Amino acid sequence: MIRFYAATLGCKINQYETRAIAEAWARNAGAPAAESGDPRAADLILVNSCAVTANAVADLRQAVRKLHRDNPSAPIIVTGCAAQVMPDELAGLPGVVRVVPQADKAALLAGPGGEPLPEPAPFPPFAITGYDRARPVVKVQDGCSHHCTYCIVPLTRGRSVSREPGEVAAEVRRLLDGGWRELILSGINLRHYGRGLAEKTDFWDLVARLEREFAPEWSGRARLRLSSVEPGQLDAKGFDTLAASVLVCPQLHLSLQSGDPDVLRAMGRGHYRPETAVEFLDRLREPWPVFGLGADFICGFPGETPEQFENTLTLARRLPLTYAHVFPYSERPGTPAADMPNQVDPAERKARAARLRKLVAGRKRVFLDRLLGTGRLDVLVQDARGEGVSQYYAACRFGAPLPGDPVRALIPARPVAVERGVILVEPLDAKGEASL
């Protein structure tokens, strides 16, 4: 019986797929995970890769070399997005014996030597029964058919495909019954959910179905969190779905990328106006008086002028941002943006990103101070040290040890202070009083 170690780089979907492969190997191939997550104890190593930025590829090379140094006798299998676009280079890295492109990743569900099916399923047949983190990902969609000019994902993951709603609901049920209390509905492009399904549906229909099926039993006891949504999804149907929900966390993460309409059009993202997000979120304050808000931004896209970047800063000031993922533009080979004229100097890209991060950091501090006045946060405990996350996606930490095994528990808590970007909390009892 072989022991394997799995390393994941990149997005939540990669984390989910690694878990699905690990479960399949343990179940079907008799290959339990290495003890204590130590790659040195493994007979075989799986690396699930990312290629979304140049830094992600550099991290992959470094990770593979380190895994080989730590365990030179263990063969390494590399799969994922980087394996799709640079298989020959990865095959030449030390210790690598097999490179499985993203398109063939599902073959690994049959075991380390699994071969691609002649007629693959419309939606990759990944599924999980548990998770190695306190907040499981539930994959509902894969691929992207939009082709933003800067993005390599359509080349690495292919066209948009959707998971059957019944399969999503069944996995949600498995995880809730298994003791997980916060589930993250995730995909590569949730705006494309419904593509490839026989019945006309969209992501908001899926959320509404999960609400109908699980809210009667799990309201107040468990919650759903939405991963990144597109500004184009911020319509009346989306508003009505969120306003009616008792399971969805009051927090959104938006794939905004820029606050300038001309830059968005150059990115291939002219299907929404930046003002759409502002208008939607202003209206959302009625059903959600307090909510967390994150966003993705790319700084220094080819041709972006200083004035256009100032439009992004203006948008960031208008939005009730509580955090953001800010990236200097990174050229990806094979994408139209890599060959565009007027490339912004890399140092200027980094400088713009730093300015935006500083702005958002100030907004985050104000938001955390505001949460101190709410009197109660519902904290999902993520580890034995008492660290967790609130419904608003603010990091929290219990100041004293919690009784029993608190990991994965959803605990009402009183916020008492902010320390280095983390809210210190204490548990509340059934009467709403501090219990420790």
One digit per residue, the tens of pLDDT, for the chain of length 436 reads: 789 999 999 999 999 999 999 999 988 766 666 655 799 999 999 999 999 999 999 999 999 999 999 999 999 999 999 999 999 999 999 999 999 999 999 999 999 998 887 777 889 999 999 999 999 999 999 999 999 999 999 999 999 999 999 999 999 999 999 999 999 999 999 999 999 999 999 999 999 999 999 999 999 999 999 999 999 999 999 999 999 999 999 999 999 999 999 999 999 999 999 999 999 999 999 999 999 999 999 999 999 999 999 999 999 999 999 999 999 999 999 999 999 999 999 999 999 999 999 999 999 999 999 999 999 999 999 999 999 999 999 999 999 999 889 999 999 999 999 999 999 999 997 666 666 5
Place of tokens 């104890």: 41
Nearest one of 283, 275, 294, 209 to 248, comparing CA atoms: 209
pLDDT recorded at residue 391 = 98
- What's the pTM? 0.95
Q: Are 322 and 293 in contact (CB under 8 A)?
A: yes
Nearest one of 370, 366, 363, 237 to 295, comparing CA atoms: 363
**Contact residues for 407 (Cβ-Cβ < 8 A; gap 6+):** 134, 381, 382, 383, 384
Q: Are 70 and 45 in contact (CB under 8 A)?
A: no
What does the domain layout of the chain look like in residue ranges? Answer: 4-103, 137-371, 377-427
Q: What are phi and psi of 199, to 5 degrees?
A: -95, 135
Q: Are 226 and 239 in contact (CB under 8 A)?
A: no
pLDDT recorded at residue 435 = 62
pLDDT recorded at residue 303 = 98
Q: Are 142 and 105 in contact (CB under 8 A)?
A: no
- 4-103: what fold? Rossmann fold (3.40.50)
137-139 sheet: strands from edge to edge: 137-139, 182-186, 223-226
pLDDT recorded at residue 133 = 95
Taking the CB of residue 432, how many other CB atoms lie within 10 A of it? 11
Nearest one of 312, 320, 325 to 278, comparing CA atoms: 320
pLDDT recorded at residue 36 = 55
pLDDT recorded at residue 195 = 95
pLDDT recorded at residue 431 = 62
283 burial class (0-12, 13-18, 19+ CB within 10 angstroms)?
middle
3-state SS, residue 337: helix
pLDDT recorded at residue 434 = 66
pLDDT recorded at residue 116 = 85
**137-371: which CATH number, 2.40.110.20, 3.80.30.20, 1.10.150.130, 3.40.50.300?**
3.80.30.20
